[in-house]
Amino acid sequence: MTSPVKTQWIDVAPGFGGYLALPPAGRGPGLVLWQEIFGVNAHIRGVAEQYALAGFVVLAPDLFWRGGPRIELGYVGADRDRGIQLMMALKSEEIESDIDAAAAALRERPEVGGARVGGIGYCFGGRLAYQAAARGRLDAAVAYYGGGIQQKLDLAPAIACPMQFHYAGHDDHIPPAAVAAVRAAMAGAEVHLYADAHHGFNCWDRSAYRAPSAALAHGRSLTFLARHLYGA
């Protein structure tokens, strides 16, 4: 059976590409999907198609393009180490430039046609969704276990769009105090905690995958995005 979701790689800016997934209707609100440190790999492409099936025009920008096009990494060992190195090599101004370029490219797509644009991200990408919201590039944003958000709470007052956060109850990278700090700084935002889950619980390719938490978080994310991007 042919998938109703059409996908392709597109140019976001010179040298900077992204994976575009179109919904069955061919058009809809935009959704920038920010990757983990493992690149726009099979899982991220699968998530793009998952949200495209829900009616969103999804763009997953290839954030490691300066290190090489379309880098795909696994989750352990040397691949994980390389992902960390690639993330650490990114300069703040490069991240900000890519955030702006990706959001602008998606807004300009004819398939979005002036509709609202949101963002969703996982781990490293969760922080980028938060930063994109603070830069005023999104109409709504969702961050899954966003690493480092707790170090950037000075950006919270700049966020005018609705935000939703998802955290694991057992996370070696984001302790309970960090979640509490985000909750306090983002008063009024949705903050969901999955007590039995670990960091990376949404990724079906990782050992930390926990289907009940992933399903509940996905349902909450869809409800939130539908409300704020469709206006439903």
- What domains are there in the chain, each with its CATH number? 6-230 (3.40.50.1820)
Residue 2 in this model has a pLDDT that exceeds 90: no
Position 76 confidence tier, pLDDT thresholds 50, 70, 90: very high
pTM assigned to the model: 0.96
Q: Among 17, 129, 142, 146, which residue's Cα sits nearest to residue 70?
A: 17
Position 232 confidence tier, pLDDT thresholds 50, 70, 90: low
Q: With pLDDT > 70 as the criterion, what percentage of the chain qualifies? A: 99
Q: What is the mean pLDDT of residues 63-86?
A: 96
Residue 20 in this model has a pLDDT that exceeds 70: yes
Tens of pLDDT along 150-195? 999 999 999 999 999 999 999 999 999 999 999 999 999 999 999 9
166 forms bridges with which residues in the sheet?
144, 192
Tokens of 90: 């990114």
Tens of pLDDT along 106-140? 999 999 999 999 999 999 999 999 999 999 999 99
The average confidence (pLDDT) of the chain is: 96
Active site residues: 123, 171, 199
Please give the C-alpha separations between residue 198 and each of 1, 52, 128, 206, in angstroms, as whole numbers.
35, 26, 20, 11
Position 1 confidence tier, pLDDT thresholds 50, 70, 90: low
